[in-house]
Amino acid sequence: MSIEHIGDATLYLGDCLEILPTLGPVNAVVTDPPYGIANDPDSSRFSGGQSPLIMRPRLPKNQPDPVHVEPIVGDDEPFDPSPWLGFDSVILWGANHYAARLPTGSTLVWIKKDPHLYGTFLSDAEVGWRKGGHGVYCFQRNWSGFSRLTTVGASSHPNEKPPELMAWCVDMTTGTVLDPFMGSGTTGVACANLGRRFIGIEIEPRYFDIACSRIRRAYEQPRLPLPEPEPVKQGDLL
């Protein structure tokens, strides 16, 4: 196990189920876990070797591909959400793939296409589960091709979520946030930008290194102070 401390973030390289008993107080779990669908994450198979999502340069013969995409650790067996359900606040993405193992809760929908593209190549949206409630809540953020490339770069996780989406999720919670399947660290970046304490765990060394780099960069960026709330006038309460 390896541990990195970056700002208010503590990052662990290792198995989340082994590390979980060693953690201090955690208020919320916000994560995009392996879904248990044995997905092939190499999207270049759709484009003759040039991925529409991970723009990679053409390489000389016999030179290793620096962004070769390996299967996600744990995605070859059904995902068990039970270790994470006891926390005060929980948000789990990919919930439609293991819905039978979740209790009743709120549904989060990330719409990732413009309306004129609904029903075309790949999914229009992704579904998350939030502990408590019964409502359905939507977030719109296009996430393909150039929009993704310019945000996360060519070497990030194949199942990367947009930072704005994870910030939306983090903002639904309070206190320390745990992402036990941290990937390339987008939840940690959101926490850094929102001034929240973060604990991240990632089992794959390559993605752990990317997460450390991205979260470090997030803390190095200057932050503008949040605007003060306007005072409530007596008439506003009527």
pLDDT of residue 156: 64
- The strand pair at 9-13 and 2-6 is best described as antiparallel
In a domain, 154, yes or no: yes
Number of separate domains in the chain: 1
Distance CA 168, CA 173 (A): 9
Residues 56, 65: contact at Cβ < 8 Å?
Answer: yes
- Give the CB-side neighbour count of residue 219, counting CA atoms within 13 A: 17
In a domain, 152, yes or no: yes
- Name the least confident of 9-23, 24-38, 180-194: 24-38
In a domain, 82, yes or no: yes
Residues 30, 18: contact at Cβ < 8 Å?
Answer: no
Mean residue pLDDT across the chain: 81
In a domain, 226, yes or no: no
pLDDT tens-place string over residues 77-98:
889 999 999 999 999 999 999 9
Q: What is the CATH number of the domain that holds 83?
A: 3.40.50.150
In a domain, 45, yes or no: yes
pTM: 0.78
